[in-house]
Chain A
């Protein structure tokens, strides 16, 4: 083929080149005419715009949507915040201006100068913010003296207001400046550096709905930078409100029930999956993140061994301990290995080969059937059952309950826990599963890990005889006009295929745990409502016989899961108290308090007058009142 070239037919393309040349000339003539129009005919007008009058772009930040509880009570809203800025091109005497501001606002002059230097590289009409969060009096004073301080600018923007203090801090999350990494993502395409976005919790995971769209004004100002007229304006779009499934009052009571203990609680409507309370204790103050957090405060948070910044309800993964016996029991019943009459003798320990596995009660439980095994949490009964089931059959039932993977509650970074199988171990460690490892698994130790959300979903599944609704936190999204944009209806996540009779046998045991003598969950008992539950104590490290003072971080975790009312279940609660030592004594009372609060709220239990009155005065009155009119006349839906 090489060298075989085609000599073109000369005439045609030559004519075409001529035609194309003419077309090119015409196009350039059009460009030139347009330049003529702009630079000669329109020149006067446009020059005036560029010289005498200055156009300025004033961004108007969109007000973020509010976050409300299930009854329309405000959890997070906005309030106006004033900041002081200077516009370099209008500043006549920089030193005098900064001096005055430093003196009046009581700020460090060096700090102001630093901010000035940093902002100077940008466009000269662009405001440099030198102080945020000034008081209304300061703002008014500066506004009055503005003429004497050319270059001064006062900006108002809405900031997040956490009217309930630390309430549900982990769940709600906090705001911060957008990170470099997020800026590169497609979902943050319309954001600019310096924008505030949700950094955790609902604020982050529902950012797209909450944010709204920034607007701005193109204004004309005179030579001293004073406003002349608005040329055009795009008003900001207020973000959408998020209505959570959370009940604010229940959330508050649940947090109070923890006191200064560290841990997590999840309370859930068993018939819909709606999460009513979502606690991670201790909390933190989310407003500190939006404003200026001192390094000392930051240090305090970091050094607290109870890890206040960690969302334990979302990211905490704990060995479920004896609460997992529910799964083992159901597996045994379905596989026909036990029934309610099957008895086992517990002598305080059980030996397989060379390994001896101890029951938590060294004296032993004697003759034990299923009900007693659950009630007194006998380990030997479940060792023997687990050994016969094998790890893979236990895992299969756990998966039926949706354990071992994230449940999709609608927050980023939800963990999935871990349900071990022989295949998993082979893959992970390249080693075979050996029989002795199954025994700890059957009592929720060993490799098993569950999140507080999963603990709640598991006990809810028992309450409903096997129907597990997807746990979720958002009830609906409401646009600024009050129209419902999205509504989340209950979704069945798992349907555990077991005959209701089997659930009944386990439930009877769980009822006994709370209500019968020798039950481990007596502290969760309510006299007005029948509660059924299961305690759990999970080992953090093997330090069995070191009696006495165990250091905090080595103490066992305490767990308790429960549902109520027994006959017609409505609510499921799971509580983990980190290093709380005993489920029955540390976690069960918290479960009891949460259940009490729930039934008081429903009017089933009469609230002691002193307490509720007290609470109303202390915490409820101020929060509902502060719906700032200016930024967000948020509708209060559902109420």
Chain B
């Protein structure tokens, strides 16, 4: 079963890209958390543990033929959907949101695997779906069901960031599969009233406030708007070359919120300036384009759909997080993959990359 070609075809480019971004992340977390004072295990050390754990996951995910996933995709989907329902009733509530499920030995946040599982379910669905000339509205019925269940359950937790993410991931895959123009226009027209309804009935007050504050940061410069303003100051004050490693005043004086997690990039931008940001931006763009290339080179529909889905997941994380940090998007709690501190995000991203590597190294096996 283990073919020597697998080693020769191993995608070292993608693998090194991940290592480079993760290492930059560790260095940055060291700086971002430097002002937190002495703690038993510093954040950057914990992040190294997470990276090592993530890499072993990558190897695990690479070790089997990804085609197996095609057969179990809906099972995985079902289990995760079930967990989402369970978490609504038995989940741990912290800071007003119920996201975690206590499984005795460890805690699980089912909204994370949803991102991967929705990709699998869509790939499995469309891999056997005949599509001559783009999807019609009727073709979207089952995909909408597949997406709607988890999306609503996650909204209910409430976790707006993740809900938006999985919708964006699903849309990206639909575009890849191909939509008719008439479908696009109809969906857009139908969405407008539901946005209105969601605004008034689904979104919580604090979520509405965040969006309003984004549109007008002066509206509440003290809370949600405060983060936005401080992050913009941090990024902008970095200038062309930055203030230097460990020298960012915004970060070191704690003006930034969650500066080792969601706002890690603004610490980096302050200390490394436009040149540093350009490098990171380039690395991420390279990663995304590489993922699309894997999709393009893959010879079966399931694999190529999976590759597009996983790439879309990484892409939207990057865009939403960076957009938030530089004041283009509202503050939603979305981390920057491989760069922000945190085990949950690291695990999901690494599993995604594992899938990409898997598809990439088996592209000649068909």
Contacts and interface: CB of A to CB of B under 8 A. Distances in A.
Contacts of A12: 178
Nearest to A232: B221
A42 B233 CA distance: 9
Given A5-B302, A8-B304, A17-B296, A31 B237 contact: no
A22 to B, nearest CB: 10
Contact of B236 (A8, A38, A57, A218): A38
The 7 closest A-B pairs by CB, nearest first: A46-B236, A123-B254, A50-B237, A8-B301, A47-B237, A38-B236, A17-B296
Given A47-B239, A49-B233, A51-B249, A24 B292 contact: yes
Contact of B274 (A5, A27, A40, A124): A40
A46 B232 contact: yes
B193 interface: no
Interface string B203-232: 000100000000000101110001001101
Size bin of chain B's contact surface: 35 or more
A89 B234 CA distance: 19
Interface string A176-213: 00000001111001100000000000000000000000
B2 interface: no
A20 B312 CA distance: 10
Given A6-B302, A47-B236, A126-B254, 10 more contacts: A7-B299, A7-B301, A13-B296, A16-B175, A17-B293, A20-B308, A24-B292, A28-B285, A40-B239, A59-B222
Nearest to B278: A32
B238 interface: yes
Interface stretch (B19-27, B89-97, B182-190): B89-97
B253 A124 contact: yes
B292 A43 contact: no
- The secondary structure that dominates the A interface is helix
Contacts of A121: 36-37
Nearest to A34: B326
A125 B253 contact: yes
B68 to A, nearest CB: 10
A39 B289 contact: no
Contacts, number: 167
A21 B172 CA distance: 12
B254 A124 contact: yes
Given A25-B285, A28-B285, A89 B253 contact: yes
A45 B229 CA distance: 13
B296 A36 contact: no
26 contacts: A5-B67, A5-B301, A5-B302, A5-B366, A6-B301, A7-B300, A8-B299, A8-B304, A14-B296, A17-B295, A20-B175, A20-B308, A21-B292, A34-B327, A35-B281, A38-B235, A38-B327, A40-B240, A42-B236, A46-B232, A46-B236, A51-B249, A57-B226, A123-B253, A185-B96, A218-B222
Given A6-B301, A20-B175, A186 B96 contact: yes
Given A17-B295, A39-B238, A50-B237, A34 B328 contact: yes
Contacts of A568: none
B176 interface: yes
Nearest to A60: B222
A218 B255 CA distance: 12
B32 interface: no
Given A57-B222, A189-B96, A43 B237 contact: yes
B300 A8 contact: yes
Nearest to A54: B253
Interface string B256-289: 0000000000000110011001100100110011
Interface of A: 1-2, 5-8, 12-14, 16-17, 20-21, 24-25, 27-28, 30-32, 34-36, 38-40, 42-43, 45-47, 49-51, 55, 57, 59, 89, 120-126, 183-186, 189-190, 215-216, 218, 231-232, 234
A6 B127 contact: yes
Contacts of A17: 176, 292-293, 295-296, 308
A34 B222 CA distance: 24
B326 A35 contact: yes
Given A122-B254, A215-B222, A46 B278 contact: no
Contacts of B35: 123-124
Contacts of A32: 277-278, 281
Nearest to A42: B236
Given A50-B249, A125-B254, A189-B206, A45 B284 contact: no
Nearest to B38: A121
A184 B93 CA distance: 7
Contacts of A120: 37
Nearest to A6: B301
Contacts of A47: 236-237, 239
Contacts of B218: 232
Interface string B296-320: 1001111010001000000100010
Nearest to A5: B300
